[in-house]
């Protein structure tokens, strides 16, 4: 079945460092891909999305490109801030479009001043 | 736009008691999801509804858990009887199928069973 695999955390970076969180997926057809972010004590919120191959999603300085050839959707940010400390979830929506999302296990990012 | 509303935000109860969690999805959304999040197991999908009909409840841990959606604007997740291992944060999310399935999450209910 469809699945999402994220790099294990926690990831600890200094402020202004470059961030990459790896995400790979297994799916039939052409799923949509998402990154969600969860700040401490809050629910998940959509960070960015890409709905077809080679699309680049971007928001708040974060970017991810839908790579079908490598089945990947890695999250990147050029310069992280302390306020980016959160848990990041990669997710896919199967091509069957049932509304259901398949989530990765989440990666905790901690940014130190 | 009020977003997804969950109540209560925090619930502390004793083992054996009945617990009811409530969710109001975003108006116009036709799909609703209940998730559970723990440190050990991460984020788990418990059940989801399309147009008020349960579609997949394979994630419901056992018969002590039940969920209903009597109308498009309200859903409940009930645990009876509750056990300490049910302690978790329970999230409700809603979406409109066809919107590339972007789900909108509520703030969650933190349940503690003593």
pLDDT in tens, B27-64: 999 999 999 999 888 899 999 999 999 999 999 988 99
How far is the C-alpha of A4 from the C-alpha of B86, rounded, in Å? 25
Mean pLDDT within A90-102:
83
Looking at residue A9, what is its pLDDT? 85
B106 touches A at CB < 8 Å: yes
Whole-number average pLDDT of chain A: 93
* Residue closest to B67 by CA, chosen among B55, B58, B54: B54
Mutate to test the interface with A, among B34, B103, B108 (most CBs of A within 10 A): B103
pLDDT digits (tens, 9 = 90+) for B86-104: 999 999 999 986 655 689 9
Q: Which of A97-101, A109-113, B15-19, B89-93 has the lowest mean pLDDT?
A: A97-101
Looking at residue B98, what is its pLDDT? 65
A111 touches B at CB < 8 Å: no
Q: Which of A71-75, B60-64, B108-112 has the lowest mean pLDDT?
A: B60-64
How far is the C-alpha of A61 from the C-alpha of A63, rounded, in Å? 7
A34 interaction partners in chain B (CB closer than 8 Å):
102
- Compare CB distances from A103 to B43, B48, B98 and report the shortest one's residue: B43
Strand partners, A34: A49, A91
Cα A100 vs. chain centroid, distance in angstroms? 17
| Nearest CA distance, A49 vs chain B (angstrom) | 8
Looking at residue A1, what is its pLDDT? 85
pLDDT digits (tens, 9 = 90+) for A36-70: 999 998 999 999 999 999 999 999 999 999 999 99
Looking at residue B96, what is its pLDDT? 83
Query: Which token pair is A4?
Result: 């999402």
Task: Decide if pLDDT at B76 tops 90.
Answer: yes
Report the 10 Å Cβ neighbour count for A74: 18
């Amino acid at each position: 079945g469809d699945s999402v695999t994220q790099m294990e955390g926690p990831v600890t970076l200094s402020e202004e460092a470059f961030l990459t969180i790896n995400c790979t997926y297994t799916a039939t057809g052409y799923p949509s891909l998402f990154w969600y972010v969860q700040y401490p004590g809050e629910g998940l919120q959509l960070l960015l999305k890409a709905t077809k191959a080679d699309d680049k999603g971007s928001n708040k300085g974060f970017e991810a490109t839908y790579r079908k050839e490598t089945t990947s959707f890695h999250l990147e940010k050029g310069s992280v801030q302390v306020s980016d400390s959160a848990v990041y979830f990669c997710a896919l929506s199967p091509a069957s479009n049932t509304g259901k999302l398949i989530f990765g296990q989440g990666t905790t990012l901690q940014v130190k001043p | 736009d009020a977003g997804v509303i969950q109540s209560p935000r925090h619930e502390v109860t004793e083992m054996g008691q009945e617990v009811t969690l409530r969710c109001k999805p975003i108006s116009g959304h036709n799909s609703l999801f209940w998730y559970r999040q723990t440190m050990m197991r991460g984020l788990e999908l418990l059940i989801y509804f399309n147009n008020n009909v349960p579609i997949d409840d394979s994630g419901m841990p056992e018969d002590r858990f039940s969920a209903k959606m009597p109308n498009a604007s309200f859903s409940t997740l009930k645990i009876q009887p509750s056990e300490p291992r049910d302690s978790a944060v329970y999230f409700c999310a809603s979406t409109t199928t066809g919107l590339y399935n972007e789900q909108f999450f509520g703030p969650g209910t933190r349940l503690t069973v003593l």
